[in-house]
C-alpha cells in the first residue's frame, strides 16, 4: 500500500510541471527535518511534488511517513504526506507556493477559506554549541483566514514508526509524556548501540512533541484509527494502544492535535518538534586503544530529554529570528555573486551541517567537560566513514564561513588519534573509523589509502583554520605531526605514485597533475605554519622546496599538444578540473604563476557541456563542489557564471529527486550515486575569495 502510493507519486512527477511558484527554484529534493545524520528527512521533487502529494523520505530513500491534516469549520484537508483513511473523506489542500532559504522550507497551501503556512525550520546555530548540537527540528503550522471571516480550525500531525529503523520488521515500543509538553517517545525494543540499519541509527529514542497548552491532544495507535479519530472528531482520544509491535504491523502512528479555536486574518499556529536523541552518540579511540563514550554537547545544559524539548519548543521565536538573520546574511553575501549562486548556497547549508555532531566527554568526576569538544562528520552516502579527511576538506568552506572553530573541532579527533601513535603510516589517515558513529581508528593502517591527498588536506586545513580563528594552539600542539606529513609530501608529491585522489570513483592513477598541486601547496602551508610558530628557518626551507617543485611541475604537467594542464603527466590529450589551485588563491600564497590560471580559464570555456565542465577526460561526469572551487579561481567572471548557471540548470532540471547529488553527468544532467553529502559545504567557496 505504502510503496504503491510512493510509486504513484513518482509517475506523477514525470507527467506534470509544478503549478505553484518555487523560490528561488525547485530543487531535486526539499530539506524538511535535516539536522543530524539520522534526523534527515526530505521531500523528493523531480519536476515537482506538493507537500501533500507523497510521503517524505529519509535521505537514503526509505519512507519516513509524516502526515498532516487541518480541519476548517468541520471540513478536512490534508497538507502533509500521502495518507489514505477509508471512511473518513478529506480534500487535499492546494499548494500555492514553496520557498527555501538556508534554514527553512516554507510551503503555503490553501484549504478552503484559510491559508496554511507550513515552515520546516532546521536551525543553523554555528556559533552556539549548545543549540547547534540539539538533534531536533521544527515544523511550524500557521493558519490564517483569507475571506475576512473567522473559522473554527484544528491541526493534526503524526509520524510513523518508520523514523525509528531502516527496516520495517523491527519491533518498537512507545509512551507519551504529559508535562508542560505533550511528547511521544518511540524506540526499538531491541536496540543495538552504535549500529545502523540501512543508514538509520539502530538505537536511541525518537520524540514527536508540542507544547501542552489548551486544546492539545495526543494519541498513539494504528494509522487509520488515529487519523480517522481526528478526521471524525477534530480531537484525539485518550484510548491507549499499548500493543507494542513491528513498525509495519498495523502501522502504529504517533499523533498530536491542537485546536486553534476561531481563526481570523491574524494567524494562529502550533509548533511541532521532531528529533532523535541517542546517548552516547559516538565511540572514540583514545591513546592505549581505550574506547571513550561521547555525548552531544547539549547535555552540558539539560539533564533530561523533556527539559531539552520544552526549551526547544519555547525557543521557537528566537530560533526563527536567528534563522532569518542568517538567511538574510547568506542572501546578501552570495547574492553579490548572483541570484543563482545564492540559491545553490542556500540549498547546501542544511545538507552540509546535518552530517556533523558536536560532542563532549565526562571528566573523572562524572562532570561534563566542555573544554573537550570533538566534532564528528558522517561521510553520508559514499561510504559512511567517520571524519573522512577528503570529505572534510571539500566541506571546509562552510566552516570557514560560519564558524572556523568548528573546523578545528573537526580536525581534533584526527590529530589526537595520530599523536597517540596508534596509527602506523607516515602519511595522514583517511578517516577516523569505517562506519559512523564509531571512531575506532585504523590501528592496522589499512584504511583507504590516499596518502598525498589526505596529507595535503590536513596541512591546508590546519593553516586555513589557524588563520581564520587567529589561534595557534592547535598547530602548535600538533606541529610534529604536521611536519611528518610534510616530509611525506616532499618525497611523493612532485611525482605522485600510482594512487587514489579524493575522486576515488574515477580510479587510481599515477602522476596526477591536480594531486601534485595539492601536495606542493601542502608543503607551502607548512612553511606558513612554521612562520606563524616562529621557525623562520623552516619557513625559508619549505618555501623554497615548494617554489622549486612548482617550477618542475610546470614542465611535467603542461600538455604539449593543447594549451592546458594535463590530467596526468605525459598524457597530452588529457585534462581535468584543477580545483586544488583554489587553496593557492584562498590562502593568498601566489605559489602558481598567473599564466596557469589564465590558460585554464581559456581552456574550460572550450570544453563545457550543457550541465557543466567534466571532472576530467576519463568520463563525462563532474562534481558540483569541484566546479564551484574551479569557478573561484578562473580569471573571467563569465566563465565563473557559466559554472554557476550550469549547476543551477542541473538542479532545477526536474531530472533528479535526491538530496543535492554532488556527482552528476554534464551531458544528461542525471545524478550519479552520491546524495545528501556534506561536501555541499564546498559550494560556499566563492564566499571566501
Ligand atoms: C470514522 O467514521 C467512519 C464513517 O462513519 C467510520 O467508518 C470509521 O470507523 C470512523 N473512524 C474512527 C477511527 O472512528
Ligand atoms: C577536559 O578536557 C580537556 C581537553 O581534552 C583536558 O585537557 C582536561 O584535562 C579535561 N578536564 C578534566 C577535568 O578532565
Ligand atoms: C611519472 O612521471 C615521471 C616524469 O615524467 C615519469 O618518469 C614516470 O615514468 C611516470 N610514472 C608513471 C607510472 O607513468
Ligand atoms: C630542508 O628540508 C628538507 C626536508 O625536510 C631537509 O632534508 C633539509 O635538510 C632541509 N634543509 C635545511 C637547510 O634545513
| 286 ligand 2 Cβ < 6 A | no
For 238-372, where are the alpha helices, taking DSSP H only? 305-314, 316-335, 339-353
CATH number at residue 576: 1.50.10.10
Model pLDDT for residues 345-354, shown as the tens digit of each residue: 999 999 999 9
Quickly state the pLDDT bin for 562 (edges 50, 70, 90): confident
Kindly state whether residues 185 and 67 are assigned to the same domain.
yes
Which of 278, 301, 326 is where one domain is finished?
A: 278
Burial of 533 (0-12, 13-18, 19+ CB in 10 A): middle
Q: How far is the CA of 475 from the centre of ligand 2 (A)?
A: 18
- The pLDDT of 369-382, averaged and rounded, is 98
Structural domain for 426, as ranges: 371-648+676-688
Q: Could you tell me if residue 197 is inside a domain?
A: yes
Kindly state whether residues 264 and 380 are assigned to the same domain.
no
Q: For residue 671, which of 31, 9, 29, 58 has the smallest C-alpha distance? A: 29
Model pLDDT for residues 173-190, shown as the tens digit of each residue: 999 999 999 999 999 999
Quickly state the pLDDT bin for 364 (edges 50, 70, 90): confident
What is the rounded distance in angstroms from the CA atom of residue 570 to the CA atom of residue 551?
A: 16
Q: Could you tell me if residue 329 is inside a domain?
A: no
Q: Could you tell me if residue 375 is inside a domain?
A: yes
Q: Which residues line ligand 3 (CB under 6 A)?
A: 495, 498, 510-511, 556, 569-570
- Please tell me the predicted confidence (pLDDT) of residue 10: 42
Ligand 1 atom closest to the Cα of residue 229 is: 13
| 473 ligand 2 Cβ < 6 A | no
| 371 ligand 2 Cβ < 6 A | yes
- Give percent of the chain above pLDDT 70: 98
Q: Could you tell me if residue 314 is inside a domain?
A: no
Site to probe by mutation for ligand 2, drawn from 297, 361, 369 as the one with most ligand atoms within 8 Å of Cβ, is: 369
Ligand 2 atom closest to the Cα of residue 364 is: 14
- The pLDDT of 528-537, averaged and rounded, is 98
* Model confidence at 14: pLDDT above 70: no
Kindly state whether residues 383 and 260 are assigned to the same domain.
no
* Model confidence at 12: pLDDT above 50: no
Eight-state DSSP code of residue 535: -
Contact partners, residue 9, CB within 8 Å, separation at least 6: 49, 53, 54, 55, 82
CATH number at residue 131: 2.70.98
Model pLDDT for residues 462-471, shown as the tens digit of each residue: 999 999 999 9
* Model confidence at 6: pLDDT above 50: no
Q: Whose CA is nearest to atom 12 of ligand 4?
A: 541
Quickly state the pLDDT bin for 18 (edges 50, 70, 90): confident
Question: What phi-psi label fits residue 361: left (phi over 0), alpha (psi between -120 and 50 degrees) or beta?
Answer: beta
Which ligand has its closest atom nearest to the C-alpha of 523?
4
- Please tell me the predicted confidence (pLDDT) of residue 117: 99
Which ligand has its closest atom nearest to the C-alpha of 372?
2
* Model confidence at 445: pLDDT above 50: yes
Bridge partner residues of 433 (DSSP): 386
- Enter the C-alpha cell of residue 506: 574515477
Q: How many domains does the chain have?
A: 2
Q: Could you tell me if residue 147 is inside a domain?
A: yes
- The pLDDT of 596-623, averaged and rounded, is 98
- The pLDDT of 164-170, averaged and rounded, is 98
Kindly state whether residues 380 and 255 are assigned to the same domain.
no
Kindly state whether residues 457 and 600 are assigned to the same domain.
yes
Q: For residue 37, which of 678, 488, 561, 685 has the smallest C-alpha distance? A: 678
**E-only strand ranges, 613-655:** 621-623
For 136-222, where are the alpha helices, taking DSSP H only? none
Of all helices (H) and strands (E), which one includes residue 458?
helix 451-469
Which of 250, 278, 306 is where one domain is finished?
A: 278
Kindly state whether residues 59 and 206 are assigned to the same domain.
yes
- The pLDDT of 561-581, averaged and rounded, is 97
Which of 278, 297, 312 is where one domain is finished?
A: 278
Quickly state the pLDDT bin for 670 (edges 50, 70, 90): very high
Kindly state whether residues 271 and 390 are assigned to the same domain.
no
Question: Radius of gyration (Cα) for the chain, nearest Å?
Answer: 26
Q: Whose CA is nearest to atom 11 of ligand 1?
A: 228
What is the rounded distance in angstroms from the CA atom of residue 322 to the CA atom of residue 355?
A: 21
Q: How far is the CA of 371 from the centre of ligand 2 (A)?
A: 6
**Mean pLDDT score of the chain, rounded to an integer?**
96
Quickly state the pLDDT bin for 332 (edges 50, 70, 90): very high
Model pLDDT for residues 124-154, shown as the tens digit of each residue: 999 999 999 999 999 999 999 999 999 999 9
Q: Could you tell me if residue 395 is inside a domain?
A: yes
What is the rounded distance in angstroms from the CA atom of residue 321 to the CA atom of residue 306?
A: 24
What is the rounded distance in angstroms from the CA atom of residue 614 to the CA atom of residue 608?
A: 7
- Please tell me the predicted confidence (pLDDT) of residue 3: 35
Kindly state whether residues 79 and 226 are assigned to the same domain.
yes
Site to probe by mutation for ligand 2, drawn from 294, 372, 417, 474 as the one with most ligand atoms within 8 Å of Cβ, is: 372
Write the DSSP string, 175-200.
EEEESSEEEEEEEESS--TT-EETTE
Q: How far is the CA of 541 from the centre of ligand 4 (A)?
A: 6
Ligand 4 atom closest to the Cα of residue 538 is: 14
- The pLDDT of 494-519, averaged and rounded, is 96
Q: How far is the CA of 538 from the centre of ligand 4 (A)?
A: 8
- The pLDDT of 265-289, averaged and rounded, is 98
Q: Whose CA is nearest to atom 4 of ligand 2?
A: 372
Model pLDDT for residues 213-255, shown as the tens digit of each residue: 999 999 999 999 999 999 999 999 999 999 999 999 999 999 9
- Please tell me the predicted confidence (pLDDT) of residue 4: 35
Please say whether the beta carbons of 477 and 415 come within 8 A: yes
| 317 ligand 1 Cβ < 6 A | no
Site to probe by mutation for ligand 4, drawn from 527, 541, 544, 546 as the one with most ligand atoms within 8 Å of Cβ, is: 541
- The pLDDT of 259-282, averaged and rounded, is 98
Q: Could you tell me if residue 142 is inside a domain?
A: yes
Q: Could you tell me if residue 299 is inside a domain?
A: no
Q: For residue 56, which of 115, 120, 116 has the smallest C-alpha distance? A: 120
Q: Whose CA is nearest to atom 8 of ligand 4?
A: 541
| 94 ligand 4 Cβ < 6 A | no
Burial of 505 (0-12, 13-18, 19+ CB in 10 A): middle
Q: How far is the CA of 496 from the centre of ligand 3 (A)?
A: 9
Quickly state the pLDDT bin for 5 (edges 50, 70, 90): very low
- Please tell me the predicted confidence (pLDDT) of residue 649: 98
Which ligand has its closest atom nearest to the C-alpha of 365?
2
Q: For residue 13, which of 59, 63, 60, 47 has the smallest C-alpha distance? A: 47
Of all helices (H) and strands (E), which one includes residue 206?
strand 205-211
Q: For residue 98, which of 16, 9, 21, 31 has the smallest C-alpha distance? A: 21
What is the rounded distance in angstroms from the CA atom of residue 632 to the CA atom of residue 597?
A: 11
Model pLDDT for residues 618-627, shown as the tens digit of each residue: 999 999 999 9
Amino acid at each position: 500500500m505504502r510503496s504503491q502510493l510512493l510509486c504513484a507519486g513518482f509517475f506523477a512527477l514525470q507527467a506534470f510541471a509544478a503549478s505553484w511558484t518555487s523560490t528561488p527554484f525547485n530543487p531535486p529534493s526539499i530539506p524538511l527535518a535535516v539536522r543530524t545524520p539520522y534526523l534527515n528527512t526530505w521531500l523528493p521533487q523531480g519536476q515537482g511534488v506538493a507537500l501533500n502529494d507523497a510521503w517524505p523520505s529519509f535521505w537514503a530513500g526509505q519512507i519516513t511517513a509524516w502526515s498532516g491534516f487541518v480541519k476548517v469549520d468541520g471540513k478536512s484537508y490534508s497538507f502533509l504526506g500521502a495518507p489514505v483513511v477509508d471512511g473518513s473523506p478529506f480534500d487535499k489542500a492546494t499548494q500555492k507556493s514553496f520557498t527555501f532559504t538556508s534554514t527553512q522550507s516554507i510551503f503555503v497551501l490553501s484549504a478552503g477559506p484559510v491559508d496554511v503556512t507550513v515552515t520546516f525550520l532546521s536551525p543553523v546555530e554555528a556559533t552556539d554549541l549548545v543549540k547547534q548540537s540539539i538533534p531536533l527540528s521544527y515544523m511550524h503550522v500557521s493558519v490564517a483566514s483569507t475571506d475576512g471571516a473567522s473559522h473554527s480550525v484544528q491541526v493534526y500531525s503524526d509520524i510513523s514508526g518508520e523514523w525509528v529503523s531502516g527496516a520495517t520488521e523491527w519491533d518498537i515500543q512507545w509512551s507519551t509524556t504529559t508535562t508542560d509538553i505533550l511528547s511521544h517517545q518511540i524506540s526499538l525494543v531491541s536496540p543495538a548501540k552504535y549500529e545502523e540499519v540501512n543508514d538509520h541509527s539502530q538505537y536511541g529514542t525518537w520524540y514527536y512533541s508540542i507544547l501542552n497548552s489548551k486544546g492539545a491532544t495526543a494519541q498513539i495507535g494504528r494509522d487509520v484509527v488515529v487519523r480517522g479519530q481526528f478526521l471524525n472528531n477534530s480531537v484525539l482520544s485518550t484510548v491507549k494502544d499499548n500493543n507494542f509491535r513491528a513498525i509495519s504491523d498495523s502501522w502504529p502512528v504517533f499523533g498530536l492535535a491542537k485546536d486553534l479555536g476561531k481563526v481570523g486574518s491574524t494567524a494562529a499556529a502550533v509548533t511541532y518538534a521532531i528529533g532523535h536523541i541517542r546517548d552516547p552518540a559516538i565511540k572514540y579511540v583514545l591513546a592505549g586503544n581505550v574506547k571513550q563514550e561521547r555525548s552531544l554537547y547539549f547535555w552540558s545544559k539539560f539533564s533530561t530529554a523533556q527539559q531539552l524539548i520544552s526549551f526547544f519548543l519555547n525557543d521557537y521565536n528566537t530560533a526563527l529570528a536567528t534563522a532569518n538573520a542568517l538567511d538574510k546574511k547568506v542572501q546578501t553575501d552570495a547574492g553579490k555573486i548572483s541570484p543563482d549562486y545564492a540559491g545553490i548556497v542556500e540549498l547546501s547549508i542544511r545538507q552540509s551541517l546535518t552530517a556533523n555532531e558536536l560532542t563532549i566527554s565526562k571528566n573523572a568526576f562524572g562532570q561534563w567537560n566542555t573544554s573537550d569538544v570533538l566534532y564528528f562528520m558522517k561521510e553520508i552516502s559514499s561510504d559512511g566513514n567517520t571524519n573522512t579527511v577528503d570529505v572534510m576538506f571539500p566541506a571546509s568552506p562552510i566552516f570557514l564561513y560560519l564558524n572556523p572553530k568548528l573546523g578545528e573541532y573537526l580536525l581534533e579527533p584526527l590529530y589526537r588519534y595520530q599523536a597517540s601513535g596508534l596509527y602506523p603510516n607516515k602519511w595522514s589517515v583517511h578517516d577516523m573509523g569505517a562506519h559512523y558513529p564509531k571512531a575506532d581508528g585504523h590501528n592496522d593502517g589499512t584504511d583507504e589509502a590516499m596518502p598525498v591527498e589526505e596529507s595535503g588536506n590536513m596541512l591546508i586545513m590546519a593553516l586555513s583554520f589557524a588563520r581564520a580563528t587567529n589561534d595557534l594552539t592547535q598547530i602548535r600542539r600538533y606541529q610534529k605531526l604536521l611536519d611528518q606529513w610534510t616530509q611525506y609530501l616532499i618525497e611523493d608529491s612532485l611525482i605522485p605514485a600510482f594512487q587514489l585522489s579524493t575522486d576515488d570513483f574515477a580510479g587510481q592513477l599515477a602522476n596526477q597533475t591536480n594531486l601534485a598541486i595539492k601536495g606542493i601547496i601542502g608543503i607551502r602551508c607548512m612553511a606558513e605554519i612554521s612562520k606563524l610558530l616562529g621557525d623562520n628557518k623552516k619557513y625559508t626551507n619549505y618555501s623554497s622546496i615548494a617554489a622549486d617543485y612548482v617550477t618542475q611541475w610546470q614542465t611535467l604537467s603542461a600538455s604539449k599538444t593543447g594549451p592546458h594542464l594535463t590530467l596526468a603527466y605525459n598524457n597530452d590529450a588529457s585534462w581535468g578540473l584543477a580545483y586544488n589551485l583554489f587553496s593557492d588563491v584562498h590562502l593568498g600564497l601566489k605559489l602558481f604563476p598567473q599564466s596557469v590560471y589564465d590558460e585554464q580559464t581559456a581552456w574550460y570555456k572550450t570544453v563545457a557541456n550543457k550541465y557543466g565542465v567534466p571532472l576530467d577526460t576519463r568520463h563525462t561526469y563532474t562534481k558540483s563542489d569541484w566546479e564551484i572551487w574551479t569557478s573561484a579561481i578562473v580569471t573571467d567572471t563569465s566563465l565563473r557564471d557559466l559554472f554557476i548557471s550550469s549547476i543551477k540548470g542541473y538542479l532545477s532540471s526536474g531530472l533528479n529527486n535526491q538530496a543535492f547529488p554532488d556527482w552528476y553527468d554534464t551531458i544528461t544532467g542525471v545524478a550519479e550515486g552520491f546524495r545528501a553529502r556534506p561536501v555541499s559545504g564546498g559550494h560556499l567557496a566563492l564566499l571566501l575569495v
